Amino acid sequence: MKKLIVITGASSGIGRSTAIKLSNEGHPLLLLARNKEKLMELNLPNTLCKSVDVTDVQSIKEAVVEAEEKYGKVDCLVNCAGIMLLGEAQNQDPEEWKRMLDVNVMGVLNGIHVVLDDMIKRNEGTIINISSIAGRKTFPNHSAYCGTKFAVHAITENIREEVANHNVRMITIAPGVVETNLLSHTTSDEIKDSYTDWKKTIGGGLQAEDIANTISFAYSQPQNICIREIVIATTRQE
């Protein structure tokens, strides 16, 4: 059997497509998200589904221990769980900022905390963090979201430098617009409408499967090759 991969945010969108892709390639999986029913609906072989909030490091740890007992050590963590609460800085509820920081930044760090030490000791492993083009440039009403994604880029690259000589790969995937449920988290209808209008001007986004293929491509390189970052968007996204 191939090696164990952990995917956070596997109940929807990019994480869900990635779970299907990597399972089809023969990997046992640990799938994490709050909605366990949606994880179970995938009905993938050699897969453990756990209802885990990525802001709770202890519950990630317990799920990983259980998965490793069944399928062996974690070879790859895909940190995909994330939320996008767009808002004008002047009006946005700080609670929304906090939720985004907790899920998009602490959630990523929590996953890394659980698997990294063992990867370093074994001198192998891969961590793939899903950032965004919004982690490289800014967009209207994205201030806190961009902040979280710039953080994901920085965290990934900084840890990569730390662990490179332990043969552990740290990879950032930075998608442009992808057709998923991500926008639905935003509470302002006005902002949602203007985002949707902008999306039409570029002919819509990529499909979640496109990002799953990209994740699979980066992971499937030999362990001595680390694709540090992939930025992927529709040709028409400026």
Return the residues of window 169-198 that contact ligand NDP according to CB under 6 A: 175, 177-178, 180-182
Q: How many angstroms separate the CA atoms of 99 and 125, rounded? A: 29
**Smallest separation, CB 123 to ligand NDP (Å):** 28
d(CA 120, CA 178): 33
Of the candidates 61, 83, 76, the one whose C-alpha atom is nearest the C-alpha of residue 14 is: 83
Nearer to ligand NDP, 82 or 87 (CB): 82
Among 4, 5, 13, 100, binds ligand NDP (CB under 6 A): 13
Q: Which of 22, 49, 84, 119 binds ligand NDP (CB under 6 A)?
A: 84
Amino acid present at 11 = S
Question: Using CB under 6 A, which of 7, 12, 87, 125 touches ligand NDP?
Answer: 12
Contact (Cβ atoms closer than 8 angstroms) between residue 14 and residue 85: no
Residues whose CB falls within 8 Å of the CB of residue 116, separated by 6 or more in sequence, listed in order: 125, 127, 159, 163, 168
Q: Does 14 bind ligand NDP (CB under 6 A)?
A: yes
Q: Which stretch binds ligand NDP (CB under 6 A): 27-35, 120-128, 187-195, 212-220?
A: 27-35
Per-position DSSP letters for 26-89, written without gaps between them: T--EEEEES-HHHHHHT--TTEEEEE--TT-HHHHHHHHHHHHHHH-SEEEEEE---------T
The letter for the amino acid at 97 is W
Query: Which secondary structure element, helix H or strand E, spans residue 31, and what is its range?
Result: strand 29-33
- Smallest gap, in angstroms, from Cβ of residue 99 to ligand NDP? 8
Dig out the tokens for 215 from the structure. 């994740």
111 binds ligand NDP (CB under 6 A): no
Confirm if 80 and 19 have CB atoms less than 8 A apart: no
Three-state SS at 5: strand
Q: Taking CB under 6 A as the rule, does residue 130 contact ligand NDP?
A: yes
- Looking at beta carbons only, is 12 or 141 nearer to ligand NDP? 12
**Residue selected from 48, 54, 67, 86 as contacting ligand NDP according to rule CB under 6 A:** 54
Binders in 135-164 for ligand NDP, by CB under 6 A:
none
> Which one of the spans 23-31, 58-66, 79-87, 164-172 is the region binding ligand NDP (CB under 6 A)?
79-87
Q: How many residues bind ligand NDP (CB under 6 A)?
A: 30
Whether residue 195 lies in the annotated active site: no
56 is written with which tokens? Answer: 């709770």
Binding site for ligand NDP (CB under 6 A): 8-15, 33-35, 38, 53-55, 80-84, 103, 130, 132, 175, 177-178, 180-182, 205
Active site residues: 145
